[in-house]
Amino acid sequence: MAKYLVTGAAGFIGSSLVRGLLERGEQVRGIDNFSTGRRDNLAEVLDRMDFREADILDLDAMHQACAGVDYVLHQAAIPSVPKSLLDPLGSNRANVDGTVNVLVAARDAKVKRVVYAASSSAYGDTPTLPKHEAMIPSPISPYAVAKLASELYMVAFYRCYGLETVSLRYFNVFGPRQDPSSAYSGVLAKFSMQMLQGETPTIFGDGETSRDFTYIDNAVSANLLACSAPAAECAGRVFNCATGRRTTLKETFDALKPLTDYKGTVKYGPERGGDIKHSLADITEAQKHLGYKVLVDFEDGLRRTVEWYKKQGQTVGA
């Protein structure tokens, strides 16, 4: 049984990783400062893990959190493009300084490997599709720059200190527990909830913007594989974490209609600053070096997600 530290454990992806690890019988420690995470996300698993309320910017707390840990899954971040446009300093502190703290603490504690939640936004708005890891990054938002900088720190800590690191460039991860309620929420969470409640969703742009929407179970599996793959295959490297298929915003609205029983229309608004137009991953490298497979496709993932939000609505509304 190995010991894992999940940073951002109360967030959508972090709490899903905690569950995935506990299901496999692993020992889990989690930290979160609740800046975007919610205690509710961990409700029924809190008694089976070592949870600590702490900020990744607190180096002492990070040293304590890393003590005795084999693997760190670093998910803590302020994960929003528009938020980074409003507050680039805050984005940089959480998404870059925070990562360097995690790396220093992991290095000092002699952790075996750190797996990092990198972002497809690093590719930027380059026209080439699909995006593959050998492409030169071209980030266009402060958020994307911060995520890329952290990725480079991951590589540097492997090269300079021998700390094994793997970066997974997430492509629009979605699924149960993704917060639908903020202005910065992921589009599928937001649309699912709005349409279930009979509210009209808004597409920013012409509806042709596309994303490689990745169901959460695929991201959890990629993290576990990134911990177990031989170092020769993955240490100091970056991998896309996606499905290799893209869906436009207009298509997501059409797919959600029957699932949410929504009879209304959709509004169109101006394009959002810092957004990229299309995103699609080449997942060959992850398949080859991590043994990664797409476990749940877009349609199935969307069905599971809407079912979960429906159940939440029943519990809250009952």
- Residues found near ligand UD1 in the complex (CB under 6 A): 79-81, 119-121, 170-172, 184-187, 190, 202-204, 209, 211, 249, 272, 275
| Sequence-distant contacts of 38-41: CB under 8 A, at least 24 apart | 38/10, 38/179, 39/10, 41/10, 41/11, 41/12, 41/14, 41/15, 41/177
Of 182 and 228, nearer to ligand UD1 (C-beta) is: 182
Of 179 and 233, nearer to ligand UD1 (C-beta) is: 179
71 has catalytic annotation: no
> How many helices and strands in the chain, by DSSP H and E?
12, 13
In angstroms, what is the minimal distance from the CB of 44 to ligand UD1? Answer: 24
Helix (H, G, I), strand (E, B) or coil at 318: coil
The upper half-sphere exposure of residue 27, i.e. CA atoms within 13 Å in the direction of its Cβ, equals 8
In angstroms, what is the minimal distance from the CB of 213 to ligand UD1? Answer: 9
In angstroms, what is the minimal distance from the CB of 70 to ligand UD1? Answer: 26
Of 184 and 308, nearer to ligand UD1 (C-beta) is: 184
Of 128 and 228, nearer to ligand UD1 (C-beta) is: 128
Q: ∠225-231-236 over CA atoms, to 5°?
A: 95
Question: Among residues 116, 123, 143, 170, which one is catalytic?
Answer: 143
In angstroms, what is the minimal distance from the CB of 272 to ligand UD1? Answer: 4
Of 204 and 308, nearer to ligand UD1 (C-beta) is: 204
In angstroms, what is the minimal distance from the CB of 120 to ligand UD1? Answer: 4
As a three-state string, the secondary structure of 151-199 is HHHHHHHHHHHCCEEEEEEECCEECCCCCCCCCCCCHHHHHHHHHHCCC
> Catalytic site residues?
143
